[in-house]
Chains A and B, each alone.
Chain A
Amino acid sequence: MKPKNIIEKLWDEHVVYQESGKPDLLYIDLHLVHEVTSPQAFEGLRLKDRSVRRPDLTFATMDHNVPTVNRTVINDEVAKTQMTRLDKNCKEFGIELADIHHPDQGIVHVIGPELGLTQPGKTIVCGDSHTSTHGAFGALAFGIGTSEVEHVLATQTLWQSKPKTLQIEVTGKLGFGVTAKDLILGIIAKFGVGSGAGHVIEFTGEAIRNLTMEERMTVCNMSIEAGAKAGIISPDETTFDYLKGKRHVPDGDQFQTAVEKWKSFASDDGASYDKTLQINGSEIEPQVTWGTNPSMGISISSHVPSPDQSTKKSEQEAIQRALAYMGLEGGEKIDEVPIDFVFIGSCTNSRLSDLRAAAEVVKGRKVKDSVTALVVPGSQSVKNQAEEEGLHKIFLDAGFEWRESGCSMCLAMNDDIVPPGKRCASTSNRNFEGRQGNGSRTHLVSPAMAAAAAIEGRFTDVREMMTVVH
Chain B
Amino acid sequence: MKGIREISGKVFPLDRDHVDTDQIIPKQFLKKIDRQGFGQFLFFHWRYDDDGELRKDFHLDDAKYAGASIIVGGENFGCGSSREHAPWALQDFGFEVVIAPSFADIFYNNCLKNGILPINLEHTEVETLLEKGLRADYSLTVNLEQQTVHDGEGFESTFEIDPYWKQMLLNGWDEISITLSYEEQIEQYEKTRQE
Residues of A at under 8 Å CB distance from B? 16-17, 21-23, 25, 27, 36-37, 39-40, 43, 48, 50, 53, 65, 76, 78-79, 81-82, 85, 127-129, 143-148, 150-151, 154-157, 159, 161, 193-194, 197-198, 227, 229, 293, 314, 318, 411-413, 420, 430, 432-435, 438-439
Check if A147 sits within 8 Å of B113, measured CB to CB.
Answer: yes
Beta-carbon nearest neighbor of A38 in chain B: B33
Task: Decide yes or no: A129 and B189 within 8 Å by CB, A23-B164, A159-B164 being known contacts.
Answer: no
Residues of B at under 8 Å CB distance from A? 17-18, 20, 22-23, 26-28, 30-35, 45, 50, 75-76, 79-84, 87, 102, 104-106, 109-110, 113-114, 162-164, 175-176, 179-180, 182, 185-186, 189-190, 193
Residues of A within 8 A of B190 (CB): 27
Check if B176 sits within 8 Å of A144, measured CB to CB.
Answer: no
Beta-carbon nearest neighbor of A41 in chain B: B84
CB-defined A-B contacts under 8 Å, sample of 20: A16-B186, A22-B163, A37-B83, A40-B33, A43-B35, A79-B31, A81-B31, A146-B84, A147-B110, A154-B179, A155-B180, A155-B186, A156-B186, A159-B164, A194-B102, A293-B79, A411-B27, A432-B22, A434-B23, A435-B22
- Report the bound CA distance from A85 to B23 in whole Å: 26
Q: Which of A79, A146, A148, A193 contacts B76, CB < 8 Å?
A: A193
Task: Decide yes or no: A147 and B84 within 8 Å by CB, A129-B106, A155-B179, A412-B27 being known contacts.
Answer: yes
Beta-carbon nearest neighbor of B180 in chain A: A155
Beta-carbon nearest neighbor of A292 in chain B: B18
Q: Which of A23, A39, A143, A197 contacts B33, CB < 8 Å?
A: A39
- Report the bound CA distance from A430 to B81 in whole Å: 9
Task: Decide yes or no: A197 and B104 within 8 Å by CB, A155-B176, A432-B20 being known contacts.
Answer: yes
- Report the bound CA distance from A78 to B113 in whole Å: 26
Check if B189 sits within 8 Å of A27, measured CB to CB.
Answer: yes
CB distance from B92 to the nearest CB of A (A): 13
- Report the bound CA distance from A82 to B85 in whole Å: 15
Residues of A within 8 A of B81 (CB): 128-129, 411, 430
CB distance from A14 to the nearest CB of B (A): 9
Task: Decide yes or no: A128 and B180 within 8 Å by CB, A145-B110, A148-B109, A197-B102 being known contacts.
Answer: no
Check if B109 sits within 8 Å of A413, measured CB to CB.
Answer: no
CB distance from A81 to the nearest CB of B (A): 6
Residues of A within 8 A of B31 (CB): 36, 65, 76, 78-79, 81-82, 413
Task: Decide yes or no: A144 and B82 within 8 Å by CB, A154-B176, A193-B18, A420-B50 being known contacts.
Answer: yes
Check if A50 sits within 8 Å of B186, measured CB to CB.
Answer: no
Beta-carbon nearest neighbor of B23 in chain A: A433
Check if B179 sits within 8 Å of A25, measured CB to CB.
Answer: yes
- Report the bound CA distance from A314 to B76 in whole Å: 14
Check if B186 sits within 8 Å of A148, measured CB to CB.
Answer: no
Beta-carbon nearest neighbor of A161 in chain B: B162
CB distance from A228 to the nearest CB of B (A): 8
Beta-carbon nearest neighbor of A21 in chain B: B163
Check if B179 sits within 8 Å of A433, measured CB to CB.
Answer: no
Check if A434 sits within 8 Å of B84, measured CB to CB.
Answer: no
CB distance from A149 to the nearest CB of B (A): 8
- Report the bound CA distance from A293 to B14 in whole Å: 18
Beta-carbon nearest neighbor of A430 in chain B: B80
- Report the bound CA distance from A147 to B87 in whole Å: 11
CB distance from A144 to the nearest CB of B (A): 7
Residues of A within 8 A of B23 (CB): 432-434
| Given pairs A40-B33, A40-B84, 5 additional interface contacts (CB within 8 A) | A25-B182, A127-B84, A143-B82, A193-B79, A413-B27
Residues of B within 8 A of A53 (CB): 186
- Report the bound CA distance from A23 to B165 in whole Å: 9
CB distance from B72 to the nearest CB of A (A): 15
Q: Which of A127, A150, A197 contacts B176, CB < 8 Å?
A: A150
Task: Decide yes or no: A144 and B163 within 8 Å by CB, A82-B33, A412-B27, A434-B22 being known contacts.
Answer: no
Check if A145 sits within 8 Å of B84, measured CB to CB.
Answer: yes
Residues of A within 8 A of B175 (CB): 147, 151, 159
Check if B106 sits within 8 Å of A17, measured CB to CB.
Answer: no
Residues of B within 8 A of A22 (CB): 163-164
Residues of B within 8 A of A50 (CB): 176
- Report the bound CA distance from A430 to B87 in whole Å: 20
Task: Decide yes or no: A17 and B109 within 8 Å by CB, A128-B82, A433-B45 being known contacts.
Answer: no
Beta-carbon nearest neighbor of A82 in chain B: B31
Beta-carbon nearest neighbor of B28 in chain A: A413
Check if A17 sits within 8 Å of B33, measured CB to CB.
Answer: no
Task: Decide yes or no: A145 and B76 within 8 Å by CB, A40-B34, A78-B32, A430-B22 being known contacts.
Answer: no
- Report the bound CA distance from A435 to B110 in whole Å: 21
Check if A151 sits within 8 Å of B82, measured CB to CB.
Answer: no
Check if B33 sits within 8 Å of A144, measured CB to CB.
Answer: no
Check if B76 sits within 8 Å of A194, measured CB to CB.
Answer: yes
Check if B79 sits within 8 Å of A21, measured CB to CB.
Answer: no
Q: Which of A23, A85, A145 contacts B106, CB < 8 Å?
A: A145
Residues of B within 8 A of A432 (CB): 20, 22-23, 80
Check if A227 sits within 8 Å of B45, measured CB to CB.
Answer: no
- Report the bound CA distance from A148 to B35 in whole Å: 14
Check if B185 sits within 8 Å of A197, measured CB to CB.
Answer: no
- Report the bound CA distance from A91 to B26 in whole Å: 30
